Amino acid sequence: MAIEIKATGKSVPSTRLTNDDLAKRLATSDEWIRSHTGIEARHIAGGETACSDLALEAAWAALTMALGQEGCEAKSLEEIALTLDIIIIGTATADYYGCPSTACIIQDKLGARNAAAMDIAAGCSGFIYGLETAAGLLSIGASRKRALVIGADVLSRFVDWDDRGSCILFGDGAGAVLIEKTGNLSTGPDKRGLLRTILRADGSGSEHLVIKRGGSRNAFKPGETIETIPHLEMNGRAVYNFAVKAVTEIIEGLLKEERITIDAVSRIVPHQANARIVAAAAKRLGIPEGKFFLNIKEYANTSAASIPIALDELNRTGELHKGDLIMTVGFGAGLTYGGNLIVF
């Protein structure tokens, strides 16, 4: 049995906010942002667009790709949606607080009546956690065959746009992959699909990336006037140090567990948080930076969406080939971190 990625999709809002746009209203500059992060622009969702809206577009794009493939038994998007057994979305910016889950909203809009649906709250590692969770559910459920794994976030709605130390980093977007349980093997010379995953967390760092208001710890009170919207508070330096260590540890761990060297890996698809984090980890590991796929320049940090958006870009530009071994690696609020090793 193997759990294989069959199709990918993404959705990025059309409104593009450049560093120069930000510099018009903040004490920052294109030069500072580029040199400290590698970011040139980010895309921002319009006021009416919620997390599930972007996620839905990415989901339809993945299902459309799958429909066009040889051997797909479904004849229409409606039919293929009905074949879904699981929908999982990793997000830190759900449509609603806790209930209903964003995944249930997506399930309804897709017409995926046969699918179980749930959200995963693992910050920017949400897609990595979601992929492993969906693969596990497919593996243990004899009748389950197909899952949609989405990463989507609208962090622009939860950043303090007056805080130049954090708002410059984030953008909105969604990415999705359709995975399927097949008769191929996930071990041996012809191994396919998701080979292994490492999931880790260090909750002692939870204060370093936190939206403090609105939850049960710090709920809004009747009559309360709030001065700022609930927003992400970040200890940038602490997150940076954690991230470099996390990326290094996960890459080393996956290579060791799979008993391979980095030469066997075609591409590393890292969470797109800061190009300097990737460069620092690459240097520590002695891996050429070119091995890492980066699109942070255009989208900034789209949180749980960054890895599936990158996978979709690589897939659609023909840079990924069937049989390529790829590695994802990411980190985020929680603090969480992890990575997947996948034969594409």
Q: Which of 269, 241, 238, 244 is nearest to 341 (CA)?
A: 269
- With CB under 6 A as the contact rule, the residue among 28, 52, 186, 272 that binds ligand COA is 28
- Is 114 noted as a catalytic residue in this protein? no
> What does R_g of the chain's alpha carbons equal in angstroms?
19
Q: Is 128 in the site for ligand COA (CB under 6 A)?
A: no
Query: Distance between CA 192 and CA 216 in Å, rounded?
Result: 43
- With CB under 6 A as the contact rule, the residue among 240, 279, 295, 316 that binds ligand COA is 240
Contact 26, 18 (CB under 8 A): no
- With CB under 6 A as the contact rule, the residue among 18, 32, 184, 202 that binds ligand COA is 32
Q: Is 266 in the site for ligand COA (CB under 6 A)?
A: no
- Is 124 noted as a catalytic residue in this protein? yes
Please count the residues of this chain forming the interface with ligand COA, following the rule CB under 6 A: 21
- For residue 55, CA distances in Å to 150, 232, 275 come to 7, 21, 25
- Is 208 noted as a catalytic residue in this protein? no
Query: Distance between CA 189 and CA 187 in Å, rounded?
Result: 7
Residue whose CB is less far from ligand COA, 193 or 332: 332
The full DSSP string for 58-82 is HHHHHHHHHHTSTT----SHHHHHH
Element (H, E) at 198: strand 193-201
- Residues 145-184: x/- map of binding to ligand COA (CB under 6 A)? -------------------xx--xx---------------
- Point out which span in 33-41, 77-85, 134-142, 316-324 binds ligand COA (CB under 6 A): 33-41
| Catalytic residue (choose from 124, 167, 231, 340) | 124
Q: Is 34 in the site for ligand COA (CB under 6 A)?
A: no
In this structure, the number of other CB atoms found within 10 A of the CB of residue 270 comes to: 28
Q: Is 60 in the site for ligand COA (CB under 6 A)?
A: no
- What are 34's two structure tokens? 């580029």
Half-sphere CA count of 274, side-chain side, radius 13 A: 24
Please measure the distance between the N-terminal and C-terminal CA atoms of the chain and give it in whole angstroms. Answer: 15
- Residues 321-340: x/- map of binding to ligand COA (CB under 6 A)? ----------xx--------
Query: Distance between CA 92 and CA 151 in Å, rounded?
Result: 9
Provide the minimum distance between the beta carbon of 314 and ligand COA in the complex, in angstroms, as a whole number: 21
- Point out which span in 25-33, 141-149, 280-288, 314-322 binds ligand COA (CB under 6 A): 25-33
Q: Which of 136, 130, 179 is nearest to 153 (CA)?
A: 130
| Catalytic residue (choose from 167, 271, 274, 340) | 271
Q: Tell me the catalytic residues.
A: 124, 271, 301
Q: Which residues here bind ligand COA, judged by CB under 6 A?
A: 28, 32-33, 36-37, 124, 164-165, 168-169, 234, 236-237, 239-240, 243, 273-274, 301, 331-332
